[in-house]
Structure 1
Amino acid sequence: MRLKDEVILITGGGSGLGRALVDRFVAEGAKVAVLDKSVDRIRQLESDYGKDVVGIVGDVRSMEDQKLAASRCVSAFGKIDTLIPNAGIWDYNTSLADLPEDTIDEAFDEIFQVNVKGYILAVKACLPALVASRGNVICTISNAGFYPNGGGPLYTATKHAVVGLVRELAYGLAPYVRVNGVGVGGINTDLRGLSSLKMSERSISEIPLAELLQDALPIGRMPNPEEYTGAYVFFATRSDSAPATGALLNFDGGMGVRGLFSTVGGKDLLEKLNIERGDENGH
């Protein structure tokens, strides 16, 4: 258990990648606080983990709720070692041409409030505790923070903003708090859309992402949420990542190395090397 006695606060930790992070950090020996908007999900976490997890129902756009989460975490566990701003919403790849003129203002405000302001408020609320613990921040980014077509212009703009935020905070909070980012790729989760675009009831899990990404990613498949969690454990483990701040990890299945004419350049390696075809996951 690499993170025994460490304390982690995660926003949007009730489902999807956030829930997978809670599971992984508890398994690594950490205590975890979760800020999530769903009462049912918070109750489920506390039921599953008892004293190892404290849940706070709230809105990441609210400074009051963020401060409540920070204070509840410190009250329950005495400190905050790692903050993971993770809650987000998606625009379902809505193009500029398809954005209704009369909703652009509202949609822009909504997605930036959650995906960018929510991160800033989380760090602000936890800053005294993070400085005191000489802790770290790990921001969930996205492949959309580095490449096009991971969202429409609204979502992509928010994730590029988070890339800049990681760099600025890494500078501004040095030498007391390290700040890094993980650019995850496609995941089958319950990520929802914008209320202003009438997408709040849509879930990314409704899209056949696994099929779409099978031939689009060099690794040949879409990772599951649990497979993304190791990057966060790495950044949170002080002995492993002490030199890392301002680091941006593309952890997306190899989107940046797709070829011009073919996604995967080594499809015939098994035949060339006379190796029997086994588990495609490498096990």
Structure 2
Amino acid sequence: MSGGWLEGYAALITGGGSGIGRAVAERFLAEGASVTVLGRDRSRLEEVVDSAADRSRIHTVTGDVRDSDTLHTAVQETVDRFGKLDTLVANAGVWDYQRQLTRLTADELDTAFDEVFSVNVKGYLLAAEAAWRELVKTRGSIVMTLSNASFYVNGGGPLYTASKHACLGLMRELAYELAPKVRVNGVACGGMNTDLRGPRSLSLADRSIAASFARRGPDTPPPPIPLHDSSTDPRDFTGPYVLLASRAQSGPVTGHAINADGGIGVRGFAHAAGGDHL
């Protein structure tokens, strides 16, 4: 595709081997960008490369977002391969499957907190630390994958909700600290049919949120959100990422989160209280 909104851009996407990360990578490629995808699963990264129409514009790095050296390597290889870095998409994350406080032991809470926050929050911060110098050179941007749980309760349990609230604060703080050279924004996604996994510390690393969608049948009630018939395909959530990455389309925008959550913010609470079962 020529003449896309990201023609000539170079981007780095963490957690890009599946789900929204892969969908954003494919959309960025379609919009004309060159993309480095970082992920832990080499076979999935190879699938992303194999699906690309132009393999000269895609590069992969295998590693964990909790490792600063890996992130610095990904930034450097992006610059070596494509000449610069315009956009960082901080995206890798885990979900806690709405495991409530009352269903967690003290030991589980201790270990799961460290895992969820190290991936969901520290992973974003380490990625920004690795990338900001190159983004200053290009007057580039950071786009963070947030969540409806960055604003509202019950999009996860206390661990996930707290981590995503932290990401919202991190996005706003970095938008201030890196201005005027680097814009920092976020996309607060709602429920998607992705291979999002849970914490290994809660024995949820092999559980995929996609299984929940697979169990939905024709008689299953729609989700309690205003746009209850909206798509859960990650590809339909990628537009805001393109918008926020593009200097021409969102040059004055920083410190902002686009809510792509089906209207959860205008729905109100689905239940009066979360502890009626206690």
TM-score, normalised with respect to structure 1: 0.89
1:76 aligns with 2:81: yes
Q: Is the CA contact (8 Å cut-off) linking 2:11 and 2:89 kept in structure 1? A: yes
Q: For 1:237, which of 216, 239, 246 is the aligned residue?
A: 246
Runs of 4+ in 1 over 6 A off after TM superposition: 209-213
1:56-67, aligned counterparts within 5 Å? Answer: 56-67=61-72
1:217 equivalent to 2:225? Answer yes
Consecutive unaligned residues in structure 2, runs of 5 or more: 272-278
1:14 corresponds to 2:17: yes
1:250 is matched with which residue? 259
Equivalent AA in structure 1 for residue 241 of structure 2:
Y
Residues 140 and 213 (structure 1), Cα distance of their counterparts in 2 relative to 1, 3 Å cut: farther
RMSD: 1.7
Matched, 1:38 2:47: no
* Counterparts of 2:266 and 2:238, CA distance in 1: 22
User: What's 2:177 paired with?
Assistant: 172
Q: How does 1:115-264 map to 2 (within 5 A)?
A: 115-208=120-213, 214-223=222-231, 224-258=233-267
Q: Percent identity?
A: 49
CA distance in structure 2 between the partners assigned to 1:131 and 1:198 by the alignment: 40
1:124 CA displacement: 0.4
Choose 42-51 or 246-255, whichever is displaced more. Answer: 42-51
Superposition deviation, residue 217 in structure 1: 1.5
Q: What is the alpha-carbon distance in structure 2 between the residues aligned to residue 52 and residue 213 of structure 1?
A: 42
Contact persistence 1:187–1:222 (CA under 8 A): no
From the superposition, tell whether residues 261 and 193 of structure 1 become closer, same or farther in structure 2 (CA, over 3 Å).
closer
SS at match of 2:70: helix
Q: CA deviation at 1:48?
A: 2.7
User: How big is the shift at 1:86?
Assistant: 0.3
Determine helix, strand or coil for the equivalent of 1:207: helix
Asked whether the equivalents of residues 224 and 270 of structure 2 are also in contact (C-alpha less than 8 Å), the reply is: no
TM-score by length of structure 2 reads 0.91
Shift of 1:206: 1.2
Q: Encode CA deviations 1:204-257: one digit per residue, 9 max, x unaligned.
A: 011138677824111122421111000001001111101100011111000011
Q: Which runs of 5+ in 1 are unaligned?
A: 263-283
Which has the larger Rg?
1
Aligned residues: 262
